[in-house]
Amino acid sequence: MWPLVLIASVGCYALKLAGHSVSPRVLDRPRVRRIAALLPLALLAALVAVQTFGSGQTLVVDARLPGVVAAAVALVLRAPFLVVVAVAGVVAAGLRYAGLAA
């Protein structure tokens, strides 16, 4: 196990070093700036999608989906972050308690 941890650590360090060695001229290009600005959003959306619809190796639709929808509505209404999380949790837990979703 430890050899794998050490190999992964060296790989992460090499990747970080490669990022620091990129010329600033490359990073100042408009296309690179647009991609760098949108990449975190795309990764976060992918993470939310996987956590909402994934269960092991299968796709499922359960109480998490209405929870995410309720959180999105709370975000549109400009609710504070803790309220958004609480709304999502209450909706998902309520549906599971009522037996309407697994």
Structural domain boundaries of the chain?
1-54, 61-102
DSSP result, 12-73: HHHHHHHHHTS-HHHHTSHHHHHHHHHHHHHHHHHHHHHHHHEETTEE--STHHHHHHHHHH
Distances (CA, A) of 20 to 23, 26, 77, 93: 8, 12, 40, 45
pLDDT tens by residue, the chain, 102 residues: 899 999 999 999 999 999 889 888 888 999 999 998 999 999 999 999 999 999 888 999 999 999 999 999 999 999 999 999 999 999 999 999 998 877
Distances (CA, A) of 25 to 6, 9, 32: 33, 29, 10
Residue range 58-71, pLDDT digits in tens? 999 999 999 999 99
**pTM for the model:** 0.66
